[in-house]
């Protein structure tokens, strides 16, 4: 206990934690010798004093060492991955994974579930009847070899320290520290064994990161960890003031991702998917740069290969994909109070409305309704007349619909002048 007290005091007083101290802390968290109150005290000291670049890398190393590391060498090809910092309507992985595979890359991902107003990829995939998100390691590897794509739930053997520390951070107001965030993200990605990573860092009202400067610092720290482990990391910043696309909810987002794979769908979703596909194909062994990767991806959307690969992926992973065939819930419409232009659509309010409808969780133990959510009829810049449809919220019972609709109404700003449309891709870092 004296050792842990010394580590807490060392950081409290503004000193840098070396590898030995970080290793001792992480080992103690995992084996239970460091009680939660001491772990929480050190996390608070980290937030108040901040983590240096060296501490960020050292913490990530200790967290990776806390569990198993997945060996993907049996695939005999580079396996690429993408991580999103979380947003509203972010169904990008659903389209991106089969798209990269249809262009000759190998996309392997261990993903998580949604919590709060942002959705989780696993919840969306499980809205497809029969889709299995838990695969034994051998089956995961064989599927990557066979069809070049697999998205599965995170193994409990990988980075067990992160599960303990994240649970503590969530209840002790110690989430918002860039070093802690970067170490959490990158330790899991390194342990998952993928060869290269693209980070899609969401920025704006509906994202965890509200401004681009903060997002750039997080991306820089993630790249530092990637460099330390020999994992190339590329970063792109995408807008999240308004939702991505028009569908927010689990099955609703799968349907919209399917539209993108068929060569249609909302332009902002398509733009993010194509940007990331070009980046990932350039990091794979496809022998292309980003520009050519993007061109190949666009061709795969246009000629049906991407949609065909999505169907194959669903089949191999146990799912039965029948677009448009799911239990539709009753909807409650939200309409424009007056004529004008949609000046803003608050992503946070839309995400909260979808959560109230049943599409999201407030705690990890909550159940979700796969069919619940929100569909936007108008997006920023669209003209509207008084009484025109803005959005519809879908929920299983009237009480949920009304509560969600009340929040959804606050999401829309109707302006007299059409606003300038901002790009969805804000830059690279």
Residue 169 bears catalytic tag? yes
**Catalytic, out of 82, 91, 124, 188:** 188
Query: What does the alpha-carbon distance between residue 331 and residue 398 come to, in Å, rounded to a whole number?
Result: 9
Residue 83 bears catalytic tag? yes
Residue 210 bears catalytic tag? no
Question: What is the DSSP track for 217-265?
Answer: HHHHHHHHHHHHTT--EEEEEEE-SS-SSSEEEHHHHHHHHHHHHTT-S
Residue 270 bears catalytic tag? no
Residue 234 bears catalytic tag? no
**Catalytic, out of 61, 82, 83, 305:** 83
**Catalytic, out of 162, 241, 259, 346:** 162
Burial of 366 (0-12, 13-18, 19+ CB in 10 A): exposed
**Catalytic, out of 40, 66, 184, 234:** 184
CA angle 389, 391, 393 (to 5 degrees): 130
Helix (H, G, I), strand (E, B) or coil at 4: helix
Query: What does the alpha-carbon distance between residue 361 and residue 417 come to, in Å, rounded to a whole number?
Result: 37
Helix (H, G, I), strand (E, B) or coil at 81: strand
Q: Which residues does 384 contact at the CB level (< 8 Å), separation at least 6? A: 336, 339, 340, 341, 342, 378, 390, 414
From residue 276, how far is each of 28, 200, 271, 410 by CA, in Å? Answer: 38, 8, 9, 32
Q: Which residues does 419 contact at the CB level (< 8 Å), separation at least 6? A: 341, 343, 344, 380, 381
Both tokens of residue 5?
A: 């007290």
Residues identified as active-site: 83, 162, 169, 184, 188
């Amino acid at each position: 206990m004296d050792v842990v007290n010394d580590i807490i005091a060392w950081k409290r007083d503004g000193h840098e934690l070396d590898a030995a101290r970080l290793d001792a802390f992480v080992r103690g968290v995992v084996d239970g010798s460091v009680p939660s109150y001491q772990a929480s005290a050190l996390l608070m000291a980290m937030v108040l004093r901040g983590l240096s670049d060296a501490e960020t890398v050292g913490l990530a190393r200790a967290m990776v060492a806390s569990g198993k590391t997945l060996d993907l060498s049996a695939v005999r090809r580079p396996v690429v991955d993408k991580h999103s910092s979380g947003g509203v309507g972010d169904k990008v992985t659903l389209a991106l994974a089969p798209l990269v595979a249809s262009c000759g890359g190998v996309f392997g991902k261990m993903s998580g579930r949604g919590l709060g107003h942002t959705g989780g990829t696993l919840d969306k995939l499980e809205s497809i009847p029969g889709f299995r998100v838990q695969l034994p390691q051998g089956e995961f590897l064989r599927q990557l070899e066979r069809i070049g794509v697999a998205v599965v739930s995170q193994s409990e053997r990988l980075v067990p320290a992160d599960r303990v520390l994240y649970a503590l951070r969530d209840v002790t107001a110690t989430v918002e520290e860039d070093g802690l965030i970067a170490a959490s993200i990158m330790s899991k990605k390194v342990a998952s064994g993928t060869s290269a990573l693209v980070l899609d860092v969401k920025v704006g009202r509906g994202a965890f990161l509200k401004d681009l400067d903060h997002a750039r610092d997080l991306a820089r720290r993630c790249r530092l960890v990637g460099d330390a482990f020999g994992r190339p990391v590329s970063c792109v910043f995408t807008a999240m003031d308004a939702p991505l696309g028009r569908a927010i909810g689990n099955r609703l987002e799968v349907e919209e991702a399917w539209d993108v794979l068929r060569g249609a769908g909302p332009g902002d979703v398509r733009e993010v998917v194509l940007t990331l596909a070009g980046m990932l194909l350039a990091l794979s062994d496809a022998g292309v740069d980003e520009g050519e990767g993007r061109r190949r991806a666009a061709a795969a959307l246009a000629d049906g290969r991407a949609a065909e690969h999505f169907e194959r992926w669903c089949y191999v992973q146990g799912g039965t994909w029948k677009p448009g065939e799911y239990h539709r819930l009753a909807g409650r419409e939200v309409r424009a109070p007056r004529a004008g232009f949609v000046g803003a659509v608050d992503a946070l309010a839309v995400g909260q409305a979808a959560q109230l409808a049943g599409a999201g969780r407030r705690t990890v133990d909550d159940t979700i309704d796969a069919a619940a959510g929100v569909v936007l009829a108008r997006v920023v810049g669209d003209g509207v007349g008084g009484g025109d449809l803005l959005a519809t919220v879908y929920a299983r019972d009237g009480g949920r619909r009304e509560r969600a609709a009340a929040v959804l109404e606050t999401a829309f700003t109707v302006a007299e002048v059409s606003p300038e449309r901002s790009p969805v891709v804000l830059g690279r870092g």
